Amino acid sequence: MQVLKKLPKNIEGRDFVVGDIHGEFNLFQDKLTEVDFNPLIDRVISVGDLIDRGPDNVKCLELLDRPWFHAVVGNHEDFMFQCVLGASLVGSNYWYPNGGDWSKDIPEAYLKSLAKLAWDKMSVAIEIDRGDKSIGFTHAAPPRGYWDEESLKDYNHLLWDRSMIKSKFLGPTKDIYHTYHGHTPIKGTVTKANMTWLDTGAVYQKQGGYLTILQV
């Protein structure tokens, strides 16, 4: 798996970031319709957790084969890597109790191909070049202090941290203009310093959750 994927400036279309989809494929499609998404020129960057708890996990993983869709790895994909591929960034093996039981209905060979697709296509972080500034994406939180390749190897922090979104005294991440993250379900987007969290609980719609997509 690549640590940092760098995307060139999108000179023809728009870039969007989407919060944790968690298997809610149809809801994601509805959001693309709302923003009049054009797959020929626009791009989507996902902050991870494409899978688990929702109904259409296979379809969400298949998004990784589309040239306009890019995603950082979330802790739920890491669960899958551990259980299906025997590979992991963090090493947790609690997938089934955390929504991974959908995988039991998928033929083993195809499940492995989906996990391999995710391993090959996803990255720990994504950075979009904007010329004089760059925008970064990781799953749970930005790296501590500086946005650089060494700090982006702190996988446990980047996939699991919830302390930064809760902190009242949070300074900006240096060497990056702005960053976007998911992981922690919240009632509305939260921005602190130069960081924004946007997991608004798409998989918890009965409790008022919804999927957030923002143009960046």
Which residues are marked as active site? 76
The token pair that represents 93 in the structure block: 């093996």
Using CA atoms, how far apart are residues 55 and 57, in angstroms rounded to an integer?
Answer: 6
Q: Which backbone phi and psi does 35 adopt, to 5 degrees?
A: -95, 10
What CA–CA distance (Å, rounded) separates 20 from 46? 7
Q: 161-180 burial, b for 16+ CB within 10 Å, e for fewer? A: beebbeeeebeebeebebbb
CA distance 33 to 92: 36
As given in the structure block, the two tokens for residue 155 are: 């996988």
